[in-house]
A and B are shown apart, each in its own frame.
Chain A
């Protein structure tokens, strides 16, 4: 399904799409009472208590004062209703503020100040610096001559760094005045909630030339609730409005997670209900029998000879009323109350504040604190979770020569510095790739120093290292990259960026050297994504060795490569790329396919090694949690050797005599199966010995194991206390969590990056580290903490306290209800 947005066409789209009125309200003044009551009575417990309360109004059968049920019932309803009302009132208030905000919108060719709620799809909206964006816009003009603008997206995704947005190529250079009159059509998908995707096309109508269709991506949009920064003005076409914006669509109540304790309480309630029915039946029948045999003889009671038809029901119903309080009416409300207090304790805890960044811990999900005390498996990410994700360029290997091996820091290695000084061609080429094969934006600060804005920590480390090697990435002016090398300025024209995806595991840029007009493809990526594509005849042995050697030291490696392109080859490819980037369906896959055609026959230049240090307190935390009987699994996208090194250094696995590592590998089903069975056998034998046995599996073998040998792998998973899974994709991480969950284990997933989001959402408890890879994981998580070491306190202090307290409270609730109930039965005996 598509929607066609006609720019500046005031009539046609009015009826089709909603206006920009935002409404988050659940209720109106009129429907509040019925709707809220209806919702509350949706719960089984409440229905039950209502039935009891109604029965009590029948004075013939009521053994106690009806107020004893009506009172608590009304109180509980009043509490939850007033909470809802208060929340809804606040929502109404903030909606009203947003709706009545004044914005500049073009109407009949003139800019007018109107209320934000009157914006319609197709309107052109003007924003000034620091304005909040009122709806989802496609940029068509900014004050910047390059068509750039900066936005802060913290309200949308929680990340506070500025993001650059660019106007589509077709709109480049349109005059300020003409922007009022621009006409065209935007073909875009129906509203969805994906804030990272916008696959659309723009076609401008004459006189704005270009019948060409111009592809639009998320880069060309500014979304509702972002702020415009560092840009004097910007204007855009409203494509999604009101509750149909990306933000509006992604709002909504996430499925509530149920704790083990809640499930237990529900089960108990059910059991007590059955017990109650049995008690009522037995006592009711006994009562009726006694009444017929004995009570008739008791003249002083003066039983009427003939009772009404429902006489037989009276005694059982009376017992039912007496027993009704066996099920504690207050348990849900009291548990909600104490649970929100547990969450507050986590927020307040001054020992869980990251003093480096000042980020306190936060419990987003207030309902599952006691599950923290029951965790059995922790699935942890490596980069940014166990490590600091602060990348430092340490070593490199350029055309077979190792730098930085002696000092441990290549930047201080005189060999390398000398090679740069004499402009050794291999080294210069290598450093050039380091400097420009990326998506970093250099920004000149007022003091003249150059600041780099990078999305990825690795790129940041590489660009900074290149700068220290006198290859300074100085400026990016539209498509012209300026590099200062040993005093001279080199310019490149940036033609295409083949962006990084976790499937391709590499990124490339195509640049044109402005000095000699050559087209060059520069690439960097994981070894297995680069080395197999080297041109025939290149010796990649030394690089493989280098990669292995660095990985053993726990360093992250990247391979750098380049290839010269012929002009016609590039032109031909460029057309295909353009076509692929403007498809609406499967765009990502199509682009990957096209990229593959260009990224081949590389000349591999060398390998970089980047260090990522362990966070403080990681080994101690892991050891303590281990002692508490919690099993650790490490799920990382990194290489096997790097993962094992990190695992060794943080007590994850023990070195040889005490610990044993079992490898599961293989490329085919048979190999994987055999190795799986061998490992399982060893595991069974050693399970009685006091030995730390861990298994290591890589993404490929894992895929096969999960697909074909799920049962064997599950048994292995249950047996082993430690596992390292490397080279796994986000969906495999989620699958592993799912696997352990299906064995009835309580799982906790902890991670920091976007690739951990799925496993965090899948796990019983998701913990996000608000780290350097942005806040994506922290937003999706139930708990967010600043550092890995706070996990210890989160689980062992808060988890245990919450568990004990909830257990006590619920046990006490049941106990009290049963006791009161039996006292009532005894004392109202007939």
Chain B
């Protein structure tokens, strides 16, 4: 900086600065961005603010919780666990060998309707301790093969159920191979109760993921038989049990739709179920349940949503109350600098 330029005649200390104009040109143009003046807002969490926010949440959440809980309570469910009862007494100690034998596995159950059930009544089977989400299991399928007949031999991802007798299996993979094969027949007052097994799978699955020109081939032909066999004349897009089964469940306890009963059931009516107990859940101690259930506007019977809403709403209400009490009993000025760490403890830090 050439700023030491006082002249001896004038004497005073001038600061004719030749550098100034050049430096000025470096100054950026004013803009809200460069000056960090863009509009922004940051709520200051004053007690009033916090209390009202909690209050608002609780006011909104608690009614929602009550409504969903009521809706869930409206749903009528009949659950029948049958995996033990459907094994004959003499096989109870050796259930695995029973299920693997050729013995007659037909079994009859009685279900009593407790409340009026409005149609449609959904029939589910529920499995327990069944890991459809196992890594080996989930990956063992070939989507291209299911979709399209032309890639019927695309079975590379299906190991170890990719081919049998040297020929590719359609549908290949562990999932299809282990298809659930218990069957249920319902009768009411000795009248056959019709179960509609159409449109129990996702429409998109039927239309796009499972081709209507793909016929089962070489299926369940191997030495090790898995689950249900498929009718080799019916294309996959119409094999709805398979489609439902192939939508693997995320958790080890799951329900899958079996069919729909399209008539109302009255209280104290007794339904006789004739079931074929074919599926082996005994080797891993899995439970099998048959479920008849109606639906509400919120879906099936599930209290979780309502309880969750009620818990959060209640918690917020409790917090709002306790903050109010603290605020009234021991108020504190906002932004009081004496609470800053270096003011609370002068000298030491």
Chain A contact residues, CB within 8 Å of chain B? 63, 159-162, 294-295, 297-304, 344-345, 347-351, 353, 356-360, 376, 390, 392, 411, 442, 445, 449-454, 457, 460-461, 464, 467-468, 472-473, 627, 629, 683, 687-688, 690, 718-719, 721, 770, 772, 774-775, 801, 827-830
- Which residues on the B side are within 8 Å of A349 (C-beta)? 34-36
- Which residues on the A side are within 8 Å of B30 (C-beta)? 350
B278 is an interface residue with CB less than 8 A from chain A? no
Bound-state CA distance A69–B177 (Å) is: 34
Contact of A451 among B5, B161, B250 (CB under 8 A): B5
B134 is an interface residue with CB less than 8 A from chain A? yes
Give per-residue flags for B278-293: 1 if the beta carbon is below 8 A from chain A beta carbons, else 0: 0010011100000000
Contact of B19 among A160, A472, A719, A721 (CB under 8 A): A160
Bound-state CA distance A353–B21 (Å) is: 13
B93 is an interface residue with CB less than 8 A from chain A? no
Question: Judging by beta carbons under 8 Å apart, are B23 and A357 in contact?
Answer: yes
Bound-state CA distance A772–B137 (Å) is: 78
- Which residues on the B side are within 8 Å of A442 (C-beta)? 8
B135 is an interface residue with CB less than 8 A from chain A? yes
Question: Judging by beta carbons under 8 Å apart, are A358 and B3 in contact?
Answer: no
Q: Contacts A357-B23, A801-B36: A772 and B28 contacting too (C-beta < 8 A)?
A: no
Of the candidate stretches B200-208, B209-217, B305-313, B341-349, the one touching chain A is B341-349
Question: Judging by beta carbons under 8 Å apart, are B1 and A161 in contact?
Answer: yes
Question: Judging by beta carbons under 8 Å apart, are A687 and B23 in contact?
Answer: no
Q: Contacts A161-B2, A303-B136, A450-B8: A357 and B283 contacting too (C-beta < 8 A)?
A: no
Question: Judging by beta carbons under 8 Å apart, are A688 and B346 in contact?
Answer: yes
With both chains docked as a complex, state the minimum distance between the C-beta of A735 and any C-beta of chain B, in angstroms: 22
- Which residues on the B side are within 8 Å of A472 (C-beta)? 8
Question: Judging by beta carbons under 8 Å apart, are A348 and B28 in contact?
Answer: yes
12 A-B contact pairs sorted by A residue (CB < 8 Å): A162-B2, A300-B178, A357-B3, A358-B22, A358-B27, A376-B349, A445-B7, A449-B8, A449-B9, A464-B6, A687-B348, A775-B1
With both chains docked as a complex, state the minimum distance between the C-beta of A350 and any C-beta of chain B, in angstroms: 6
Q: Contacts A299-B283, A357-B17, A360-B26: A690 and B161 contacting too (C-beta < 8 A)?
A: no
Bound-state CA distance A778–B133 (Å) is: 64
Bound-state CA distance A829–B138 (Å) is: 12
Bound-state CA distance A402–B26 (Å) is: 49
User: Closest residue of chain A to B35, judged by CB?
Assistant: A350
With both chains docked as a complex, state the minimum distance between the C-beta of B229 and any C-beta of chain A, in angstroms: 16
Contact of A467 among B8, B250, B348 (CB under 8 A): B8
- Among A302, A350, A719, the most chain B Cβ lie within 10 Å of the Cβ of A302
- Among A63, A299, A303, A411, the most chain B Cβ lie within 10 Å of the Cβ of A299
- Which residues on the A side are within 8 Å of B2 (C-beta)? 160-162
- Which residues on the B side are within 8 Å of A452 (C-beta)? 4-6, 8
Supplied contacts A350-B30, A357-B17, A830-B133, 19 more A-B pairs, CB within 8 Å: A160-B2, A162-B2, A298-B283, A299-B178, A302-B174, A345-B36, A350-B34, A356-B17, A360-B27, A442-B8, A449-B9, A451-B5, A452-B4, A460-B4, A464-B8, A473-B8, A629-B342, A687-B348, A688-B347
Bound-state CA distance A472–B161 (Å) is: 108
B167 is an interface residue with CB less than 8 A from chain A? no
Bound-state CA distance A774–B137 (Å) is: 75
User: Closest residue of chain B to A466, judged by CB?
Assistant: B8
User: Closest residue of chain B to A626, judged by CB?
Assistant: B342
With both chains docked as a complex, state the minimum distance between the C-beta of B108 and any C-beta of chain A, in angstroms: 27
B331 is an interface residue with CB less than 8 A from chain A? no
With both chains docked as a complex, state the minimum distance between the C-beta of B179 and any C-beta of chain A, in angstroms: 10
B10 is an interface residue with CB less than 8 A from chain A? yes
Contact of A772 among B3, B23, B24, B349 (CB under 8 A): B3
- Which residues on the B side are within 8 Å of A345 (C-beta)? 34, 36
B131 is an interface residue with CB less than 8 A from chain A? yes
With both chains docked as a complex, state the minimum distance between the C-beta of B137 and any C-beta of chain A, in angstroms: 6
Q: Contacts A303-B136, A390-B13: A298 and B340 contacting too (C-beta < 8 A)?
A: no
Question: Judging by beta carbons under 8 Å apart, are B27 and A353 in contact?
Answer: yes
- Which residues on the A side are within 8 Å of B22 (C-beta)? 358
B226 is an interface residue with CB less than 8 A from chain A? yes
- Which residues on the A side are within 8 Å of B347 (C-beta)? 683, 687-688, 719, 721
- Which residues on the B side are within 8 Å of A683 (C-beta)? 347
B335 is an interface residue with CB less than 8 A from chain A? no
Bound-state CA distance A450–B11 (Å) is: 10
Question: Judging by beta carbons under 8 Å apart, are B136 and A302 in contact?
Answer: yes
With both chains docked as a complex, state the minimum distance between the C-beta of B338 and any C-beta of chain A, in angstroms: 11
Tell me the residues in window 301-349 of chain B with beta carbons closer than 8 Å to chain A beta carbons: 337, 340-343, 346-349
B267 is an interface residue with CB less than 8 A from chain A? no
B232 is an interface residue with CB less than 8 A from chain A? no
Chain B contact residues, CB within 8 Å of chain A? 1-11, 13, 15, 17, 19-24, 26-28, 30, 34-36, 130-131, 133-137, 160-161, 174, 177-178, 226, 250, 280, 283-285, 337, 340-343, 346-349
Question: Judging by beta carbons under 8 Å apart, are B135 and A830 in contact?
Answer: yes
- Which residues on the B side are within 8 Å of A360 (C-beta)? 23, 26-27
Contact of B283 among A297, A348, A774, A829 (CB under 8 A): A297
Question: Judging by beta carbons under 8 Å apart, are B280 and A357 in contact?
Answer: no
User: Closest residue of chain B to A376, judged by CB?
Assistant: B349
Bound-state CA distance A159–B2 (Å) is: 9
Question: Judging by beta carbons under 8 Å apart, are B160 and A468 in contact?
Answer: no
Question: Judging by beta carbons under 8 Å apart, are A453 and B4 in contact?
Answer: yes
Question: Judging by beta carbons under 8 Å apart, are A450 and B136 in contact?
Answer: no
Bound-state CA distance A344–B2 (Å) is: 28
With both chains docked as a complex, state the minimum distance between the C-beta of B93 and any C-beta of chain A, in angstroms: 17
Contact of A357 among B4, B20, B35 (CB under 8 A): B20
Question: Judging by beta carbons under 8 Å apart, are A460 and B137 in contact?
Answer: no
User: Closest residue of chain B to A484, judged by CB?
Assistant: B8
- Among B134, B178, B337, the most chain A Cβ lie within 10 Å of the Cβ of B134
Bound-state CA distance A772–B35 (Å) is: 28
- Which residues on the B side are within 8 Å of A629 (C-beta)? 340-343
Contact of A358 among B23, B28, B178 (CB under 8 A): B23
Bound-state CA distance A828–B24 (Å) is: 60
Question: Judging by beta carbons under 8 Å apart, are A161 and B134 in contact?
Answer: no
Question: Judging by beta carbons under 8 Å apart, are B13 and A829 in contact?
Answer: no
Q: Which A-B residue pairs are the 7 nearest by beta carbons? A: A629-B342, A687-B347, A449-B7, A300-B178, A348-B34, A358-B23, A467-B8
Q: Contacts A358-B19, A359-B23: A161 and B4 contacting too (C-beta < 8 A)?
A: yes
- Which residues on the B side are within 8 Å of A473 (C-beta)? 8
Question: Judging by beta carbons under 8 Å apart, are B8 and A160 in contact?
Answer: no
Question: Judging by beta carbons under 8 Å apart, are A301 and B4 in contact?
Answer: no
User: Closest residue of chain B to A456, judged by CB?
Assistant: B4
Bound-state CA distance A774–B3 (Å) is: 10
Bound-state CA distance A452–B13 (Å) is: 11
Question: Judging by beta carbons under 8 Å apart, are A468 and B11 in contact?
Answer: yes
Contact of B134 among A295, A687, A718 (CB under 8 A): A295
User: Closest residue of chain B to A451, judged by CB?
Assistant: B5
Question: Judging by beta carbons under 8 Å apart, are A358 and B8 in contact?
Answer: no
Bound-state CA distance A302–B172 (Å) is: 14
Bound-state CA distance A189–B257 (Å) is: 92
With both chains docked as a complex, state the minimum distance between the C-beta of B8 and any C-beta of chain A, in angstroms: 4
Bound-state CA distance A162–B19 (Å) is: 13
- Which residues on the B side are within 8 Å of A302 (C-beta)? 136, 160-161, 174
Bound-state CA distance A453–B27 (Å) is: 29
- Which residues on the B side are within 8 Å of A445 (C-beta)? 7
Bound-state CA distance A693–B55 (Å) is: 49
With both chains docked as a complex, state the minimum distance between the C-beta of B67 and any C-beta of chain A, in angstroms: 30
Question: Judging by beta carbons under 8 Å apart, are A719 and B348 in contact?
Answer: yes
Contact of A298 among B15, B20, B131, B343 (CB under 8 A): B131
Question: Judging by beta carbons under 8 Å apart, are B23 and A298 in contact?
Answer: no
Bound-state CA distance A683–B137 (Å) is: 74
Question: Judging by beta carbons under 8 Å apart, are A464 and B343 in contact?
Answer: no
Question: Judging by beta carbons under 8 Å apart, are B1 and A774 in contact?
Answer: yes
Question: Judging by beta carbons under 8 Å apart, are A392 and B13 in contact?
Answer: yes
- Which residues on the B side are within 8 Å of A775 (C-beta)? 1
Question: Judging by beta carbons under 8 Å apart, are B23 and A300 in contact?
Answer: no
- Which residues on the B side are within 8 Å of A801 (C-beta)? 36
Bound-state CA distance A300–B340 (Å) is: 64
User: Closest residue of chain A to B10, judged by CB?
Assistant: A449
Question: Judging by beta carbons under 8 Å apart, are B137 and A300 in contact?
Answer: yes
